[in-house]
Structure 1
Amino acid sequence: MKKSILMITPENKEINAFRRKQFNNFIQITMPYLAGFIDQSKYKITLVDEYNQKIPDDEKYDLIAMTVNTPNAVHCYDIAQKFRQKGSKVIMGGPHVTLLPNEAIEHCDYIIVGEAEKTWPQFLEDFYKDCAKEQYICKDIPSLKGLPIPRRNLIKKRFLTKGAVIATRGCPYQCSYCNLKQIYCDSFRTRPIDEVIEDIKNIKGKYFVFWDDNFFGDLEYAKKLMSELAKLKKKWAAQVTLERCKDEELLKIAKKSGCIYLFIGLESFSQEGLSSVNKGINSVDKYKEIIKLLHHNGISIQAGIIFGLDTDTKEIFKKTLNACNELGIDGVTVSILTPLPRTPIYEQMKKEERLTSTDWTYYNGKTRVAFKPKHMTEDELYDGYIWFRKQFYSISSILKRLRVSKTNIFYNLIMNLGYKLSISSANKNL
């Protein structure tokens, strides 16, 4: 007899209001990917993404599975409580569970700590036989060979943004605000190229993203993969580090293979600020040269920007806006510094008694400030961050940046207007 499983990609209302109107919110691939491991002769699967779906909490399921990140932790705990009261069992995994397993287990029946390629199938088998353990912990480094194709047929209400693919895992760097080293095994791994290509062929649409933390982490691998990818005539984006983009051969291969834009964590236009979070791989003096090289090769840049570094003053917002306009930064994903649990920056701020809340909802990097900045108040940081977002996505800034970039103009205009609309919508709903 089949058991029923509801797999949830959670998103609380606050973050949903923030993200809802953006045009480039590709699906979080975790749950469709984990669904690929499930034996369909034993389980009936329902997949729900709260980005655009409501949880069917009026129904009864044998098992509820959730991937939990820190800002959604409280929301996930509430969901779990409701379903457990109805008799469902709940399993949680993901970043927050891996970081704080002792907290998470207080709110569910089972947890998966760390990477799940080995532990998730084992749990499913045990649960079906009614002998599941409370904790499943990743003890060996999982290989990326032989991974299942994500169950994209279970994804609802996604037309252009259901294409997400995993090619590599891990990052060789040690930024103090990042929790990758605490979440993943400390080993950069690649997936067999032929398997990645088959996965991409499974995507019906033309557009997709690599859901990797550092797609250029292994340059030779990336070049070989992109050479094969060129044959598929698709368009894609990925996250990389700026210093790897000095390689013009790499950029030419990327463009030929269909790369539209690269997400690059610039983080700050202050070298002192970069050093304060161990991001010395970025050199502010080289930003202009490398960004110009990206644009010359027809690739747009979506820059990651963080406000609230210990060196930031109130002048950082205007300085950053002027720099982005001057360099023709095509788009930004801007965040407030977030001291995620167990990261070096969290431990530092905890020691300095600068954390201002124990409510994980504050740790979303978008709508709350969870710490005391050094050179401004929490309100000044938040207001400056909001001011920057509004100004960056103002019509005057969009036009200034497009004139400098001259790259993928139609695509960039649509993306920028999408962000502009999302900002207006979020401000009304928050």
Structure 2
Amino acid sequence: MRRSILLITPENNEINRFRKKQINNFIQITMPYLAAFIDESKYEITLIDEYNQRVPYDDYFSLVALTVNTSNATHCYEIARRFKEKGSKVVMGGPHATLLPDEAKEHCDYIIIGEAEETWPKFLNDFYDNTPLERYFCIDVPSLDNLPIPRRDLIGKRYFTKGAVFATRGCPYQCSYCNLKQIYFDEFRMRPIQEVIEDIRSIKSKYFVFWDDNFFGDIKYAKILMKELKKLNKKWAAQVTLERCQDEELLQLARESGCMYLFIGLESFSEESLQGVNKGMNDVVKYKQIIDLIHTYGISVQAGIIFGFDYDKKDTFKKTLEACNDLGIDGVTVSILTPLPQTPLYQQFKTEGRLLSQDWRYYNGKTTVAYQPKNMTAKELYEGYMWFRKEFYSFRSILKRMRRSRTNIIHNLIVNLGYKFSIRENDFGKINEDIKVEHY
């Protein structure tokens, strides 16, 4: 007899409002990928993405599976409570469950800690046989060979943005605010190239994104993959580090294989800030040279910018805007520095007594400030961040940057306008000014 399983990609209302009008919101690949491991002779599968679907609270499921990141943890705990009241069993995994398993376990029946290629299928078999364990640990480094193709057929209400795929896992760097080293084994791994190509070939849309943490993490591998990818006539984007974009052969292959834009974590235009969070591989002096080179090959730059480093001051927002306009940055994903649990940054702020709350809703990096900045108040950080977002996506800035960049003009205009119209200041602004600072 088949059992029913509900897989949920959670997204709380606050972040959903924040993202809703942005154009380039591709599906998170985790749940469609995990669905591919499920034996449909044993389970009837329902996949829900809260970005554009409602959780079916009125229905009963034998098992509810949630992937939990830190900013959604409180929301996931509430989802779990409602389904447990109906008699469903709940299993949790993902970044937050891996970082804080004891906390997460208080809200679910079963927990999967770490990478799931081996533990998830084992749990599914055990649950079906009524012999599940409460905790499953990933002990050995999982191989990325012979992985199933994600169940994109289960994804609802998307077409252009359901094409996400990963070729590698991990990152060779050690940024102190990043939790990859605490979530994954510290070993950069690659999928067999032909398996990646078959995965991409199965995507019906012409557009897709690589969901890799650093697509250029192994340059030799990336070059071989892009030579094969060229044959598929697709359009794609990926996250990479700036210093690896000095390789012109790499950029040429990227463009020939359909690369439209690269997401690059610039983070800051301050050398001191970059050194302070162990991101010294970014050389501010070379920003212009490398970004101009990327534009030369017709590839757009979506820059990651973070505000709130200890060297940031109240004039940082204006200086960053001027630098982005001068460089012709095509778009930004701008965030507030967030001390995610178990990272070196979190430990630093905890030791210094600068954490403002243990309420994980404040740890989303977009609408809240979770710690006391060094050279400004939390309110000043938030207001500066919001000012930058508004000004960067003003018509004046958009036109200036597009004239400077001259790459993918129609696509960039659409994406920029999507970000512009998503900014609604009155929807946001939970600043932790009134929360008592405690030594957690």
Short-chain TM bin: over 0.9
Equivalent residue, structure 2, for 1:174: 174
Residue 253 (1) aligns with residue 248 (2): no
Residue pair 2:394, 2:420 contacting (<8 A) in 1 also = yes
Give the structure 2 partner of residue 294 of structure 1: 294
SS of 2:356 mapped into structure 1: coil
Structure 2 match to 1:279: 279
> What are the superposed Cα offsets for residues 255-280 of structure 1, whole Å, 9 maximum, x if unpaired?
00000000000000000110110000
Tell me how large the CA RMSD over aligned residues is.
0.7
Deviation track 1:17-69 (CA, whole Å, cap 9, x = no partner) reads 10011000000000000000000000000000000000000000000000000
Given the alignment of the two structures, is residue 373 of structure 1 paired with residue 386 of structure 2, yes or no? no
**What is the 5 A alignment of 1:192-341?**
192-341=192-341
The answer on whether the counterparts of 2:73 and 2:360 sit within 8 Å (CA) in structure 1 is yes
Question: Is structure 2 residue 360 aligned with structure 1 residue 360?
Answer: yes
| Residue of structure 2 equivalent to 1:64 | 64
Task: Report deviation, 1:427.
Answer: 4.0
Unmatched 5+ stretches in structure 2: 430-440
Per-residue displacement from partner, 1:301-342 (whole Å, max 9, x unpaired)? 000000000000000000000000000000000000000000
Return the alpha-carbon distance in structure 2 between the equivalents of residues 120 and 403 of structure 1. 49
Give the distance between the partners of 2:111 and 2:63, measured in 1 at CA.
12
How many residues align structurally? 429
CA distance in 2, matches of 1:350, 1:5: 39
Contact 2:123 2:132 in 1 (8 A): yes
Q: What SS does the corresponding residue of 1:231 show, helix, strand or coil?
A: helix
Say whether residues 1:413 and 2:413 are aligned partners. yes
Name stretches of at least 5 consecutive residues in structure 1 with no aligned partner: none
The one-letter amino acid of 2:416's match is N
Q: Distance in 2 between matches of 1:5 and 1:43?
A: 6
**Contact 1:17 1:429 (8 Å CA) reproduced:** no
Any residues of structure 2 matched to 1:20-169 within 5 Å, and which? Answer: 20-169=20-169
Q: Secondary structure at the match of 1:107?
A: coil
Measure, in 1, the Cα distance between the counterparts of 2:287 and 2:217: 19
Once residues 21 and 68 of structure 2 are traced to their aligned partners in structure 1, the CA distance between those partners, rounded to angstroms, is: 23
SS at match of 2:320: helix
* Separation in 1, partners of 2:271, 2:319: 13
CA distance in 1, matches of 2:288, 2:393: 21
Q: Which residue of 2 aligns with 1:190?
A: 190
Separation of aligned partners in 1, 2:186 and 2:266: 23
Q: CA deviation at 1:429?
A: 7.0
Amino acid paired to 2:192? P
1:212-240 C-alpha deviation (Å, 9 max, x unpaired): 00000000000000000000000000000
Runs of 4+ aligned residues of structure 1 deviating over 6 Å after TM superposition are none
Q: SS in structure 2 opposite 1:278?
A: coil
Residues 129-184 of structure 1 deviation map (CA, whole Å, 9 limit, x = unaligned)? 00000000000000110010000000000011000001000000000000000000
Q: 1:178-200 CA distances to partner (integer Å, 9 max, x unpaired)?
A: 00000001100000000000000
Q: What CA distance in whole angstroms lies between the structure 1 residues aligned with 2:426 and 2:262?
A: 27
Cross-structure match for 2:390: 390
Shift of 1:423: 1.0
Distance 1:153 1:127 in 2: 25
CA distance in 2 between partners of 1:150 and 1:175 (Å): 29
Contact 2:238–2:261 at 8 Å: present in 1 too? yes
The within-5 A match list for 1:2-13 is 2-13=2-13
Please tell me whether the aligned partners of residues 113 and 136 of structure 2 are also in contact (alpha carbons under 8 angstroms): yes
CA contact (8 A) 1:237 1:259 kept: yes
Between the two proteins, what is the percent identity of the paired residues?
72
Letter in 1 for 2:341: P
Q: State the alpha-carbon separation in 2 of the partners of residues 155 and 264 from structure 1.
A: 28
Question: In 1, distance between residues paired with 2:144 and 2:166?
Answer: 9
- Counterpart residue type for residue 264 of structure 1: I
CA distance in 2, matches of 1:2, 1:428: 43
Instruction: Tell me if structure 2 keeps the 8 A contact 1:60–1:88.
Output: yes
In 1, the alpha carbon distance for the partners of 2:228 and 2:274 equals 36
Matches of 1:358 and 1:407, distance apart in 2 = 43
